[in-house]
Amino acid sequence: MIKELYKPGSYPNLAPPKGTVGFYGWTKSNLFSSLSNSLLTIFSFILLYFLIDGIIGWFFLDAVFDADSKIECRKIDSGACWAVITRRVGQFIYGFYPDAERWRIDIVFIGLFFASAPLLYPDLPLRRWLLWFSGFYPFIAFILINGGLFGLVSIEINLFGGFMLTLIIGVSGIVCSLPLGIMLALGRQSKLTFVRSISVCFIEFMRGVPLITLLFVASSMLNYFMPPGTNFSILVRVIIMFTFFAAAYIAEVIRGGIQAIPKGQYEAAESLGMTYWQTTRFITLPQAMKISIPGIVNTFIGLYKDTTLVIVIGLLDPLGIGRAALADTKWNGLSTETYLFVALFFFVSCFAMSRYSLWLENKLNTDHR
Amino acid sequence: MFFIIGLWRNEKSRQIILQIFVLLFIGWFLSWLAGNVASNFSALGKDISFDFLSIPAGYDINQYLIEYNSRDTHLRAAIVGLLNTGLVAVLGIILATVLGVSVGIIRLSNNWLASKIAYWYVEFTRNVPILLQILLWHGIIINSLPHPRSALNIGDVSFLSNRGFYIPKPILENGIELVYLFSVIAIIFAFLFYKFSKKKQELTGVQYPVLWINLSAIIILPIMGYFISGMPVSLEIPVLKGFNFVGGIHMSPELSALTFALGVYTAAFISEIVRAGILAIDKGQKEAAASIGLKPSKIMKLVVLPQARRIIIPPLTSQYLNLTKNSSLAIAIGYMDLVATLGGISLNQTGREMETMVLVMAIYLSISLSISAFMNWYNNRVKLVGR
């Protein structure tokens, strides 16, 4: 009966009710659905207007991009004085690395792109071959940056600085802390009492103290713990501390992942006769890592941001270079410009990392929901 | 030989053997470190002693909550520093919570524009290092705000200038006890009324406007006490004298920048926690609540928030902890917190790196361990029982 009445095409499609679709409908439901909502919208518009108005004027329209000093900047125009950045772009990127040798760092930057691509994107063509390159990349990068081999001039570590230093500390910290973090997480879940308590102590200690105190230890006290006469570079000490610090956080993230695996998985593995290491390798870690990816990437982002802390022990990362520039009487007082520029750099890299993590999470999501 | 293989094949004894090896290795490693320290210290002619804590510090601290001058001991300087850490942590936590919860709720609101603005606020603040933000705000206060002479005047009582933020200071006079008494009565009343109305609701379903009654009791009773006892509170308003303001409560540029930066930064994380907590509540819960005729505000209050609280509180506590630890970055702008006093100037003056750093780390460690102990206790208390 019903089939007869409502045969497809026998009635014309009705238009949706008035005021629910199109620009008007969207505006009404998303911006002005109630009195409080309308007030919020108007308030947001006012806020946005002042923000955009101020930012565009100060950032671009009234800004000065080249001048010899702050006073000269102020004579030209009233906005931001980007000259403090443009005059020192080289330092912001390479630190005090000698001009003639900077091509080596450029190669390292390009190499980093090709070495990380196969690790980040599993579907890449020629991935097998590129992975070999990724494996060898740390050694190539070390030789290129440090020099001293194959006729490359050896460069003093205290000349390193700028974004290059951020990348050196950040990438080495990230690469070293993941395996250590996995080991600590397994240690914390271990049946062996001593292994477990050592892991717990290490993790809780690292998470309980501020990173800045660990860096003080690295810069002023670590040599006391080494046999008399040993002296290894401050950069290595700092990387070790960053690795330990991040590893403790990663261990906690992965522990959460391990605990989220249903008990049946272990029982099934055991009933198949798998040993502890087989279970870990084929059952526990693949599932735990997948769950903990967002947390791990967040830890990496945290580590990357924390590299700025090296300025308190005198290393010159971009922030340190910026502060050195501000200490120059010519540029005194241009802190906003300098810090905003460095902030932009960090924002772009960290935002990219968090977007990547979202993408990976979606890709690995096998829930059929 | 067979005996050893047998031991290795038995799970229990294998575990014991492995642990003995681990223990031996750790013992050897620790004694190696201790031996290195001992030989390094004897080579330098140093010893380990905490006597330096009782000698005069000899440096000034520009911000203190308890009386302090440069003739006081290193120990007192450290306590002043610890209190300063506590001060900035408490102020920062209040700011971060208020801002973070508001932003989290705005992000969930169906106002497209406001939720987008909140989203970009979160992305911008949490993807920029906190140290950079502290320096940025400090720089803005120092370089961009006007001099005290042309300070931003807020209602003729508060002044914002590049020397910091000046607000009126309440001066307590005779008779203030009555106000205290009335406040205590108000709080006790509010607590009892909350218990009473909760019981009443569980028994009969009758609901009282608890929040409004309690809020008005807490506000009105002390004000009554204030008028009955003859208005015993007067305000000391900051006045411009010479180059700077005198009187009132002074928030130094360092404290203001640090509080603001830490609050704004942590608020971004808190807003995400709040949002995730509210989103995690099953849709069916809200639909069920709506189908028995609850208003949206009641659904939020009676169904969603009590369940979301369980999810929100643990990560929220760890954000508070992070904020407290991040306050140690104060050293970069010269705010005298624990790291800057004991781990900074005291260290440099006495040359006792080992002792000062051990103390600083021990203090931070005990703070964070006690907060995690609280968190475990809370988790156990609110854990879903059964199944």
What's the pLDDT at A246? 92
Residues of chain B contacting A48 with CB distance shorter than 8 Å: 113, 117
B108 or A11, which is more confident: B108
B residues 116-175 lying closer than 8 A (beta carbon) to A: 117, 123-124, 127-133, 135-136, 138-140, 142-144
Assigned CATH class of B74-168+237-382: mainly alpha
A247 or B378, which is more confident: A247
A280, two tokens: 């870990």
Give the 3-state secondary structure of chain A: CHHHHCCCCCCCCCCCCCCCCHHHHHHHHHCCCCHHHHHHHHHHHHHHHHHHHHHHHHHHHCCECCCCCHHHHHHHCCCCECHHHHCCHHHHHHCCCCHHHHHHHHHHHHHHHHHHHHHHCCCCCCHHHHHHHHHHHHHHHHHHHHCCCCCCCCCCHHHCCHHHHHHHHHHHHHHHHHHHHHHHHHHHCCCCHHHHHHHHHHHHHHHHCCHHHHHHHHHHHHHHHCCCCCCCCHHHHHHHHHHHHHHHHHHHHHHHHHHCCCHHHHHHHHHCCCCHHHHHHHHHHHHHHHHHHHHHHHHHHHHHHHHHHHHHHCCCCHHHHHHHHHHCCCCCCCHHHHHHHHHHHHHHHHHHHHHHHHHHHHHHCCCCC
User: Is residue B266 scored above 90 in pLDDT?
Assistant: yes
Angle of the B305-326 helix axis to the B353-382 helix axis, nearest 10 = 180
Q: Read off the pLDDT of each residue in B259-278 and give the average, rounded to a whole number.
A: 92
Q: Which residue of A has its CA nearest to B14?
A: A192
Domains of chain A from N-terminus onward: 22-83 (no CATH), 89-97+155-364 (1.10.3720.10)
User: Is residue B386 scored above 70 in pLDDT?
Assistant: no
Band (pLDDT 50/70/90 cuts) for residue A3 is low
Give A246-284 pLDDT, tens digit per residue.
999 999 899 888 888 888 888 899 899 888 888 889 988
Give A24-43 pLDDT, tens digit per residue.
888 887 778 788 888 888 88
According to DSSP, the β-strands at B233-236 and B169-172 are antiparallel
Cβ of A192 within 8 Å of Cβ of B18? The answer is yes
Give the percent of chain A with pLDDT over 70. Answer: 97
Residue A55 distance to chain B (closest CA, Å): 15
CB B325 within 8 A of CB B364: yes
A residues 293-322 lying closer than 8 A (beta carbon) to B: 301, 305-309, 311-312, 319
A304 or B354, which is more confident: A304
φ, ψ of residue B58 to 5 degrees: the values are 75, 15
